[in-house]
Structure 1
Amino acid sequence: MTPYDGTSDPSHHLNNFRSRMYLTDASDVIRCKAFPTTLTKTAKWFDSLPPRSIASFDDLAKKFLARFSIQKDKAKHAPNLLGIKQGDWESLRNYMERFNKVCLDIQSLLIEASIMGLINGLREGPFSHSISKKYPTTLNEVQERAEKYINMEENTRLGENSKSGFCYPPRDKAKEFGKKED
């Protein structure tokens, strides 16, 4: 079980804990003693509770929810995607990875909303122009199309890095033309 750090939905953490305790058939006392071990240092508010202020696990759960319920409001929603923008020098791969991580934190995210958020955050460039000409309808389509531009970006970077090494001399168009004539 992932320890609760005070930044996510407290009711989700509490429900996970209750499910695990139900499976072990733990008593109320055991649940009260075990619950604090599922919290990180930042979430250990109970250290400041007065002694004997908890009468049952339900009492502990209510105090936990009262203390951390504000975090529930900080949960991410689809409109949060509109704030994610590709940086001026950020690669398309890095942007896509960063965007996908945020999408994972949003429950019940509609495909259309994620596609719109991703497109909205793209900086001006070949991929954004391509997407604006033919709007994708699935995330798979977005990923396939993005992969082509990611590969082009990475190949361009490799080409720029190899310029410091050996490079081929420019072709002489007149010689090529003359060979074709023969």
Structure 2
Amino acid sequence: MDLYDGTTDSRHHLSNFKSCMYLVDTSDATHCKAFTTTLTKIAMKWFDSLLSRSVMCFDDLARSFLTQIFIQKDKLKHAPSLLGAKQEVGKFLRVYMERFNKACLEIQNLPAEAVIMGLVNGLREGPFSQSISKRHPTSLYKVQERAVKYINMEEITCLREPTPR
């Protein structure tokens, strides 16, 4: 069973967990203890924040889980947060692309148009940004394809430049 990190459907995770535990036919206390082994990241933080003795049975734990994770879900990042990702001066395109891709993974149901807009918005002035502004990409595949070309060009240029002593 996959670990639950707070970014997917909490009801689906709980349902999968209950199905697995049904097959094992264990006690309510075991359900409570086993459930914590399926949590990671924000979900584990939620569990760690529960007050001692606040859970009397698995149904209490499940109800609290669904309620709190639903509240936390509102705190997840949304598409406009991509506009804050900027390519830093002196940093390679590869570094920016990796950081930008990680930011995209934190956003659920992210439209391709928002990814392209966020990526273009964050590029610093240079050959890749000029290329994008001249011929705006129509798909994420096209953006990645073009980015790889410019990343390779940057890396080749770096290899050719003599290193200072």
- Shorter-normalised TM range: 0.7 to 0.9
Give the aligned partner of residue 136 of structure 2: 135
Alpha-carbon distance in structure 1 between the residues aligned to 2:155 and 2:96: 14
Indicate the residue corresponding to 1:36 in structure 2. 36
Give the superposition deviation at 1:139.
0.8
Instruction: Render the CA deviation track for 1:50-76: whole Å, top value 9, x for unaligned.
Output: 3xx434322112223445544212212
Indicate the residue corresponding to 1:123 in structure 2. Answer: 124
Matches within 5 A, 1:52-71: 53-71=54-72
**Structure 1 CA distance, aligned partners of 2:124 and 2:21?**
52
Q: After the TM superposition, which segments of 4 or more aligned residues of structure 1 sit over 6 Å from their partners?
A: none
Deviation (angstroms), 1:21: 2.7
- Answer yes or no: is 1:49 the counterpart of 2:52: yes
* Structure-2 separation of matches of 1:20 and 1:60: 13
TM-score, with length taken from structure 2? 0.80
Cα distance between partner residues in 1 of 2:74 and 2:27: 29
Change (3 A) 1:157 1:105: same
User: Who is 1:177 aligned against?
Assistant: none
**Structure-2 separation of matches of 1:89 and 1:163:** 16
Aligned partner of 2:60: which letter?
Answer: D
Distance of 1:104 and 1:39 partners within structure 2: 18
CA distance in 1, matches of 2:69, 2:114: 29
Instruction: Flag structure 1 segments of 5+ consecutive residues without an equivalent.
Output: 165-182
| 1:95-118 superposed Cα distances (whole Å, 9 cap, x missing partner) | 111111111222111111100000
The answer to whether the Cα contact below 8 Å between 1:136 and 1:142 also exists between their aligned partners in 2 is yes
- Partners of 1:144 and 1:162 lie apart in 2 by 29
TM-score by length of 1: 0.73
- Aligned residue in 1 for 2:102: 101
Unmatched segments (≥5 aa) in structure 2: none
Q: Would you say how many aligned residue pairs link Structure 1 and Structure 2?
A: 157
Q: How does 1:1-182 map to 2 (within 5 A)?
A: 1-2=2-3, 4=5, 8-9=6-7, 12-13=9-10, 15-25=12-22, 26-27=25-26, 29=28, 30-39=30-39, 42=45, 43-46=47-50, 48-50=51-53, 53-161=54-162
Identity of aligned residues (%): 52
Residue 93 of structure 1 and its aligned partner are, at CA, apart by 0.8
Query: Based on CA coordinates, which of the two structures has the bigger radius of gyration?
Result: 1
Contact 1:77-1:106 within 8 A present in 2 as well: yes
Q: Do the aligned residues in 1 keep the contact of 2:17 with 2:35 (CA within 8 Å)?
A: no
Query: Post-superposition shift, 1:20?
Result: 2.8
